[in-house]
C-alpha cells in the first residue's frame, strides 16, 4: 500500500525511540516530512542519537518532545499542528494493570 503525505503536513509519531517507530520516522524524513517524535527523555543522547542523525542527513525534520503516557496532557505539545498520527505505543505493566 502506497500513500503520499504532503511535505507541508506535520506528522506525530509516538514512541519515537522504538523499533517500528524508527522505521516510520526514517521513511518520513527521507521524503522531507516534519516529524514530531515523542520520547521519554529527549536529553538521553544515547537513545535519541539515531533520530538526530536521521534529521541531519535527510530533507525532513525531526522535533523531539518529552511525553509520558502517565501524565495527562503530556502529548498535547507534540500533537499541536499535526495532521497525521502514528501511535506506536505498546502496553506495559503498572501495578498489575496493563495500560
Domain ranges of the chain: 10-98
- Mean pLDDT estimate for the chain: 89
pLDDT at site 3: 61
Of 1.10.10.10, 3.30.365.10, 1.10.20.60, 3.40.50.720, the CATH number of 10-98 is 3.40.50.720
Q: Please list the helix, strand and coil fractions of the chain in percent, rounded to the nearest 5, in that order.
A: 30, 25, 45
φ and ψ at residue 88, rounded to 5 degrees: -100, 10
Query: What average pLDDT does the segment 57-64 reach?
Result: 95
pLDDT at site 8: 81
Amino acid at each position: 500500500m502506497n500513500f503520499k503525505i504532503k511535505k507541508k503536513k506535520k506528522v506525530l509519531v509516538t514512541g519515537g525511540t522504538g523499533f517500528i517507530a524508527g522505521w516510520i520516522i526514517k521513511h518520513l524524513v527521507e521524503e522531507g516530512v516534519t516529524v514530531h517524535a515523542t520520547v521519554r527523555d529527549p536529553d538521553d543522547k544515547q537513545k535519541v542519537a539515531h533520530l538526530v542523525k536521521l534529521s541531519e542527513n535527510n530533507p525532513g525534520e525531526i522535533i523531539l518532545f518529552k511525553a509520558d503516557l502517565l501524565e495527562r496532557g503530556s502529548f498535547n505539545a507534540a500533537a499541536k499542528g499535526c495532521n497525521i498520527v502514528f501511535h506506536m505505543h505498546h502496553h506495559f505493566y503498572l501495578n498489575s494493570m496493563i495500560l
